[in-house]
Amino acid sequence: MGAQALAVLGGVDILVNNLGGGDEFTLKGFLATSDALWAQSFEVNLFGTVRVTRRLLPSLLERGGSVVNVSSMSARLPGTGPIEYGAAKAALNAFGKALSEEFGPRGVRVNTVSPGPTRTGMWEDADGFGARLAEANGVEHRDFVAGVPTAMGMTTGRMVEPGEVAGVVAFLASHRAASVTGADYVVEGGGIKTV
């Protein structure tokens, strides 16, 4: 993927790592979470980002670029989702912070955006994560999704809109955020209650 971007674009100024999720998960807790699920979650939620970033970093260094990793509020509240997912997203946050320390002095800013439940297919599709959670809890899918903001303690009382996350990503990638690096911006409707 990185080689194709370099070939087509001739270089990269901005890298947004917006990869995540996992098709397989269990809601039965740690003891039911197999090594295969752990490996899959880390592959999707961390290692893909590591590989693409490694491939594109020389171009970002040449151009004084910016990296934005899209994580999850589950990195800060690991009990809100499958255990392996929260752990992988926490690792992604640590990865971004470490990169910001190493490459910030060389002109590359690295930041993270951690959304909460966002009104996307993951929650709304009939075969998505939200539908599977609804089924596991014996609740109608539409009713389950409508109750997510309350269940997650979201102060706004609604799910995050995709454009709200995109706006923060665009800001962090822009020159308007030239002094922002190593930060983790949460866009989670007030669901994280700690400072």
118: three-class secondary structure by DSSP: strand
Who's near 126: CB < 8 A, 6+ residues apart?
A: 141
Is 185 annotated in the active site?
A: no
Q: What is the predicted pLDDT for the residue at 4?
A: 83
Domains of the chain: 2-187 (3.40.50.720)
Annotated catalytic residue within 25, 42, 85, 103: 85
Residue 119 near residue 76, CB atoms below 8 Å: no
- Please indicate, yes or no, whether the overall pTM of this predicted structure exceeds 0.85: yes
CA distance 130 to 155: 20
Angle made by CA atoms 155, 161, 167, in degrees to the nearest 5: 105
Token code pair at residue 90: 């926490």
Ordered alpha helix ranges (H), the chain: 2-9, 35-42, 48-63, 83-103, 121-124, 129-136, 141-151, 162-173
Which residue bears the tokens 């800013």?
109
Q: What is the mean pLDDT of each run of 10 residues along the chain (195 residues)?
A: 82 94 78 94 96 97 97 92 93 98 98 97 92 93 97 97 98 97 98 92
15: three-class secondary structure by DSSP: strand
CA distance 135 to 10: 47
CA distance 158 to 153: 10
